[in-house]
Amino acid sequence: MFQNQHSASIGVILRDCKGKVLMSVSKREHEVNNAIRIKMLAILRGLQLSAHLGIHHLIVESDSLILVQELQESEPSMSMVGNVIKDTKKLKNCFQSCEVRHVGRICNEAAHRLARFAWNVNDISLWWESFPNVIAQVLWNERHL
């Protein structure tokens, strides 16, 4: 989050079933000043990008256990990001299958670094079948360790 600019950023990585990066994204979000809201927007933006690509089966990973639990609930959310959760649940239904999983922060390091990289982005930077150097070491570590 960039408090002095009233904005925050997200990082999204789309991988195939073998872990190969298909797309990576750094995006700045404006008028966001809450960590839970920005994590929820990251999930929503990832789903939006995936839906436009015609992907039918998706596994979403987030390091926010609270949001993962909210997205797994069938009841409407009463949280302060309830409207974004509602929109995200609706979008999840557009996929043949869309599972939401909790992962530890260490497993989400590449997305976290992409989010920090968005400091250099006006709106959105997208890499198709590629990624910026800022996550190259993390991806190498994931493959070899």
Tens digits of per-residue pLDDT, 8-65? 899 999 999 888 999 999 999 887 777 888 899 999 999 999 999 999 999 999 999 9
The CA-atom distances, in angstroms, between 96 and each of 32, 34, 93, 99 are 31, 31, 7, 10
pLDDT band at 5 (very low <50, low <70, confident <90, very high): low
Residue 133 CA, distance from chain mean position:
19
Strands (E), 47-110: 57-62, 97-102
Helix, coil or strand: residue 108: helix
- Among positive and negative, which fits the CA dihedral 72, 78, 79, 85? positive
Is the distance from CB of 25 to CB of 11 less than 8 angstroms? yes
3-144 fold: Nucleotidyltransferase; domain 5 (3.30.420)
Check pLDDT > 80 for residue 113.
Answer: yes
Provide the residue ranges of all domains of the chain, joining segments of one domain with +.
3-144
The predicted structure's pLDDT at residue 6: 66
For residue 2, pLDDT beyond 60? no
Q: What pTM was computed for the model?
A: 0.87
